[in-house]
């Protein structure tokens, strides 16, 4: 069987199962088996696939048909131009979180903390782009912190991020100029309606934020003032319908601060910005 035929069969199976971008998903899985980049795969589509490779490819397709996320199957995901290791220890980094990184880079902070770092996507991206910054990253999960540390090591910034286990800002040893956070904001009542890729495979504790989805973010806001230096800034990713309530809470916690809600490329509320 040629690679093109194996790819087409996988695309058909994935498409019939209702999986979006079936062709791209099949290409990623086949490229992973053959250890080829996408452009390299296309240059070899008329070559034969041997039995062992075909069996390995079909096994990965079966996992995807069971709604296991592709980044967990292949073990990596691109974020902000960086290739990150991904495992079920932490949520998969998503494109909308790149807005958080972009806003953080504009702040040009000398010291900062990534709260709830997960796989380390935000902390690592900031370390790569802010070589002089002192960076902390916190998480309650030792498994997530170990994953984040591996990503920092792979991208040669491990010596510039201090990973700290604990709740939100509790482990932070000093006030910082910038707090960034991508914390749980899925409403509890919405959990069962999420795609099975999320509901069955990603860590619920890292995504679900209580009845209104803001429980953890609110705790961060109420604890943040004592951890933020004068003229500091706080950035938090939020749900599309949480902006107004979180803006009110932030104004209560930071009297006199400038509080804004920034929208993402889809025009939805995505980022809470507090400037003291």
The CATH number of residue 23's host domain is 1.10.8
What is the pLDDT averaged over residues 246-257? 97
Q: Average per-residue pLDDT in the chain?
A: 96
The verdict on residue 83 lying in a domain is yes
Mean pLDDT of 27-31: 96
Q: Are residues 48 and 163 in the same domain?
A: no
User: Which tens digit of pLDDT belongs to each residue from 42-70?
Assistant: 899 999 999 999 999 999 999 999 999 99
Same domain, 113 and 176: yes
Q: At what angle do helices 22-34 and 51-65 cross, to 10 degrees?
A: 140
> Which residue range is the domain that position 19 belongs to?
3-66
Residue 16 domain flag: yes
In this model, does residue 38 exceed pLDDT 90?
A: no
The answer to the question of residue 109 being in a domain is: yes
> How many domains does the chain divide into?
2
What residues have CB less than 8 Å from 228, skipping those under 6 apart? 175, 176, 177, 179, 234, 276
pLDDT attached to residue 121: 98
Whether 220 and 260 share a structural domain = yes
The pLDDT value given to residue 42: 87
Are 195 and 158 part of one and the same domain? Answer: yes
Same domain, residue pair 146 and 263 = yes
Co-location of 117 and 188 in the same domain: yes
Which residues does residue 263 pair with via DSSP β-bridges, in sequence order?
A: 269
Question: pTM for this structure?
Answer: 0.94
Closest by Cα among 202, 247, 233, 175 to 68: 202
For 143-193, write each residue's pLDDT tens digit: 999 999 999 999 999 999 999 999 999 999 999 999 999 999 999 999 999
Q: Does one domain contain both 45 and 119?
A: no
Cβ-Cβ contacts under 8 Å for 105 (sequence gap 6 or more): 126, 129, 130
| Percent of the chain at pLDDT exceeding 90 | 97
- Return the closest-CA partner of residue 41 out of 55, 57, 52: 57
* First vs last C-alpha separation in the chain: 63
User: What pLDDT score was predicted for residue 135?
Assistant: 98
Residues 86, 55 within the same domain = no
Residue 140: CATH number of its domain: 3.40.50.150
Mean pLDDT over 60-82 rounds to 97
């Amino acid at each position: 069987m040629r690679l093109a035929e194996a790819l087409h069969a996988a695309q058909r199976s994935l498409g019939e199962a209702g999986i979006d971008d079936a062709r791209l998903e099949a290409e990623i899985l086949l490229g992973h088996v053959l250890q080829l980049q996408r452009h390299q795969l296309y240059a070899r589509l008329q070559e034969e696939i041997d039995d062992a490779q075909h069996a390995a490819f079909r096994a990965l397709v079966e996992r995807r048909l069971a709604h296991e996320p592709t980044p967990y199957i292949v073990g990596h995901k691109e974020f902000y131009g960086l290739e990150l290791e991904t495992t079920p220890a932490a949520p998969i980094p998503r494109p909308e979180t790149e807005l958080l990184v972009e806003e953080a880079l504009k702040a040009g902070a000398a010291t900062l903390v990534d709260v709830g770092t997960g796989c380390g996507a935000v902390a690592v991206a900031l370390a790569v782009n802010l070589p002089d910054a002192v960076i902390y990253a916190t998480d309650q999960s030792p498994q997530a912190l170990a994953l984040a540390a591996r990503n920092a090591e792979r991208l040669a910034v491990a010596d510039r991020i201090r990973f700290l286990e604990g709740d939100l800002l509790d482990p932070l040893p000093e006030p910082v100029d910038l707090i960034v956070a991508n914390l749980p904001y899925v409403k509890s009542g919405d959990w069962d309606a999420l795609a099975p890729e999320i509901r069955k495979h990603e860590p619920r504790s890292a995504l679900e934020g209580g009845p209104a989805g803001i429980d953890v973010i609110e705790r961060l806001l109420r604890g943040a003032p004592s951890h933020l230096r004068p003229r500091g800034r706080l950035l938090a990713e939020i749900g599309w319908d949480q902006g107004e309530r979180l803006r009110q809470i932030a104004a209560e916690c930071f009297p006199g601060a400038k509080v804004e809600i920034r929208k993402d490329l889809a025009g939805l509320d995505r980022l809470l910005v507090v400037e003291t």
